[in-house]
Amino acid sequence: MATQNENVSINIGSNFDSKGFKQAETAADKLNRTVKNLATTIGIAYGATAVANFGKQSVKAFLKDEEAATKLANAVKNLGIEFANPYIADYITKLEKTSKVADDQLRPAFQALLQQTGSLSASQSILNTAIETSRGSGVDLATVANDLAQAYVGNNKGLKKYYLGLTTAQIKAKSFTDIQKIMNDQFAGSNTAYLNTYSGQVGVLSLAWQNFQEKVGGTLLTLASFGDGSDGHKLNLLAATLDKIGSGIQLIGKGKEALFGLFDVTGKNGILSKFNPYPQGGTGKPKDTNISKYDALLKKAEDDRKKNQAAILKSQKEATAELKRQAALKKDAGIFDMQQIQLIAALKGKLSEDDRKRVELQLALLNENVTAADSLTKQILMAQDATGNLYKYFMQTPDAKNPFAYLDKWIADFQTKLNALQFPAAPAVVITPPVAIIPPTNPGNGGFTPGTGTYAPPATNVPPFSSGGFTPYSSSSVIPDMAASSSNYGGYAAGQYGQNGAVVVQIDGKTIATANQSQSLSGIPSNVSRVNGMFTG
């Protein structure tokens, strides 16, 4: 009744009790302060964690960049133009700045092209085409560079996706020079147009961020190696370094300048720059980018490459020719078919005249010699039947293509004969009127004479009704033997129902009385109650 009492009561001196509210307010204030402090703490901790994560990502980016640079340098070295490495590094850096394509993408693409063409100038030209095509088509640079590298050696299969306005046959027929020209015409200016878009601007920003990460990663590795002064255990010290950086950030606070100073400490103008063993960007700063003095060497390398390619091409052509020759030989080898060989061998043996003709016929059929086959067939058939009937029958044999063709004519003949059939006229039917029925002489009592017990059928001409095989009932013949002594089931002789004699029921009163007495003494209630007349047992 609490609710009702609130309504059914008169409160006097009511006052708002703000004590609880004040307490709640105070508690909320405390909670707010606590949350703020907690948020501050979490923020600092999160900031330290974020810096640590950024450091890890930066190191990864730097290592990936360094790996790509090393791969390219090694590929250049294997091509015999190791001297061009500084120039290539400089070219990649400049191309990155102008095209705003990350060096991570440029290096693998350039490497693929350089390995395929063997020519520095050709690779550069194709890479420019690849960049424009990539921007214009939306296909990533690595794929475009791979397709162009394949096209350079005649495999134009991958160019279909760029929708150059050429059929598959035309693409296959075009030379790489033509293909490159078409692609240049189609996709020229795509990169510039892309960079003017918002997406392109974001891409530029992303590229700058990647480069920043790479630089930071290099710097962090520098700091890590600076601790022990050796090249080893850099990564082991990296975690400790990152921890120190996080602590440093906590101490320094949120000052951007301090943060910038931290990251720039080993930069170009940083106080630890002289201890930084890694060049900025991690790609190895080219010391001499003047490639013109290596023109002769480059030309020689390109010539060697072309010579090698020509040799490979020649070898491939020879291999193709060899394959063709082998195919022809294989075809020719079919002449020496085993069946023919066997037939010829058989003919060389001692055969009867008939068998020889048969073998010759098989050989003629195998060689599709129709004239010889017809002649031999006639000879064989005539040999079997000198009268010539077999040969005639063979010649009259219906076309094997339709073994039932002759049935058409037969059915037509059968139909004609069927139509020509004439049935004999039916004889006239003569119906004689029935004999007049004579009624019985005494229809009232049906021939029964009362008092005599005899029955005399009245005189009539109605024929007696046939029994149809029905035997009238005879008690002495249908009741089976029901004697208890019978060995049959219940007195019935197996398989003789209704065929034995009359049933004889013998009731032994003494036996029944004894049985009833035994049941009464059994103690079963139903049997005992028989005395009371409730059950008759």
Q: Which residue ranges make up the site for another protein (CB under 8 A)?
A: 1, 4-22
Closest CA to 275 of 230, 321, 319, 214: 230
Q: How far is the CB of 260 from another protein (least distance, A)?
A: 54
How many Cβ atoms from other residues are within 10 Å of residue 482's Cβ?
17
For 315, the 3-state DSSP assignment is: helix
CB nearer to another protein: pick between 9 and 396: 9
Q: How far is the CB of 19 from another protein (least distance, A)?
A: 5
| Three-state secondary structure of 75-121 | HHHHCCCHHHHHHHHHHHHHHHHHHCCCHHHHHHHHHHHHHHHCCHH
CB nearer to another protein: pick between 4 and 532: 4
Residue 126 near residue 183 (C-beta atoms within 8 A): no
Rounded to the nearest 10 degrees, the angle between the axes of helix 103-117 and helix 85-99 is: 130
How many Cβ atoms from other residues are within 10 Å of residue 105's Cβ?
19
Query: Distance between CA 174 and CA 149 in Å, rounded?
Result: 15
Q: How far is the CB of 20 from another protein (least distance, A)?
A: 7
CB nearer to another protein: pick between 19 and 256: 19
Total residues found in the chain within this entry: 537
How many Cβ atoms from other residues are within 10 Å of residue 483's Cβ?
15
Q: Which residue has the tokens 């394509």?
A: 101
Residue 363 near residue 340 (C-beta atoms within 8 A): yes
Q: How far is the CB of 250 from another protein (least distance, A)?
A: 42
Q: How far is the CB of 28 from another protein (least distance, A)?
A: 16
CB nearer to another protein: pick between 17 and 399: 17
CB nearer to another protein: pick between 4 and 485: 4
Closest CA to 151 of 159, 139, 143, 160: 159
Q: How far is the CB of 30 from another protein (least distance, A)?
A: 19
CB nearer to another protein: pick between 12 and 430: 12
For 449, the 3-state DSSP assignment is: strand
CB nearer to another protein: pick between 8 and 428: 8
Q: How far is the CB of 22 from another protein (least distance, A)?
A: 7
Helix residue ranges per DSSP H, 334-399: 338-348, 353-366, 370-384, 389-396
CB nearer to another protein: pick between 13 and 464: 13
CA dihedral 313, 314, 319, 320 (to 10 degrees): 70
201 contact partners, CB below 8 Å, separation of at least 6: 195
Q: How far is the CB of 33 from another protein (least distance, A)?
A: 23
Q: How far is the CB of 239 from another protein (least distance, A)?
A: 57
CB nearer to another protein: pick between 7 and 387: 7
